[in-house]
Amino acid sequence: MKARDFKNRIYTELSAIAKALANPHRLEIIDLLAQGPSSVEYIAKNTGMTIANASQHLQTLKSARLVKAERRGKYSFYSLQSTDVFKLWKTMRELGFAQNAQIGKLLRDFRKSRHNLESVDSDKLLDRIEKGEALLLDVRPREEYEAGHIASAVSIPKNELLERLKSLPKNKEIIAYCRGPLCAMADDAIKILHEHGYTASRLEAGFPEWDTEGKPVD
């Protein structure tokens, strides 16, 4: 094989990965699958897509070897091909935050519209948890918590928070987290906590970021 033919074939294969990622719905699917394996129905419900549309996007990601499927009874469950897929998405996201001023402005404006919610650095959080100064609250759906969560985190899905508020201590700061920096569930949870007299902040990172950084998970 000539060097030019070799390069053309390699770059063509790599461009197929880039092409598969060049769609906002598929990026959101990767962000969701980083939480754990999911059925097409679950993905459709949590991304606002139809089942048929979600299935088409999953097939594109599968063809690019970014996701894989496993049959469980009547349903197919999809998961990321490896943690490298999440690392690629995380790098893309961080590059966008750093290079695209519009992305940063959108994020700041969104947070500002939700009462300037404060976020907590993950390294400082570990120290505060160890000292008993903070309680970590996972507000994702229970299926995602059970697939994997930050060590010591308490699970109260956002839609159950109001009815379970009394189980949370008021003498500790509540640190809520969800799927990562683009997820709004933690913001909504903190708003509820503030309205009921709790001291609360959000963890910017989600479970996948925490896991890939080698921090303690269950």
pLDDT of residue 1: 81
Give the pTM: 0.89
Cα atoms in the Cβ-side hemisphere of radius 13 Å centred on 174:
28
Q: For strands 119-120 and 134-138, give the pairing.
A: unpaired
pLDDT 10s digits, 89-127? 999 999 998 888 888 788 778 776 665 455 677 777 888
pLDDT at 8 over 80: yes
Identify the burial level of 119 via C-beta atoms within 10 angstroms of its C-beta, where 0-12 means exposed, 13-18 middle and 19 or more buried.
middle
Of these residues, 136, 178, 185, 200, which one is catalytic? 178
Helix (H) or strand (E) holding 79: strand 75-80
Round to whole Å and give the CA distance between 45 and 40: 9
Helix (H) or strand (E) holding 162: helix 161-164
Between 1 and 116, residue with greater pLDDT: 1
Pair of tokens at residue 59: 């097939």
pLDDT of residue 28: 97
Could you give all domains of the chain from N- to C-terminal order, each with its CATH number? 3-85 (1.10.10.10), 115-212 (3.40.250.10)
pLDDT of residue 118: 59
Give the 3-state secondary structure of residue 181. coil
pLDDT 10s digits, 47-99? 999 999 999 999 999 999 999 999 988 889 999 999 999 999 999 999 998 88
Give the distance from CA 192 to its chain's centroid: 21
pLDDT of residue 115: 55
Percent of residues, the chain, with pLDDT higher than 90: 72
Q: Say if residues 77 and 37 touch (Cβ distance below 8 Å).
A: yes
Round to whole Å and give the CA distance between 124 and 23: 35
Average pLDDT value over all residues in the chain: 91
Identify the burial level of 123 via C-beta atoms within 10 angstroms of its C-beta, where 0-12 means exposed, 13-18 middle and 19 or more buried.
exposed
Residues 128-155, mean pLDDT to the nearest whole number: 92
End-to-end CA, the chain: 48
Cα atoms in the Cβ-side hemisphere of radius 13 Å centred on 160:
13
Active site includes 178?
Answer: yes
How many angstroms separate the Cα of 9 from the Cα of each of 4, 21, 63, 84, 189? 9, 19, 17, 22, 49
Residues 189-216, mean pLDDT to the nearest whole number: 92
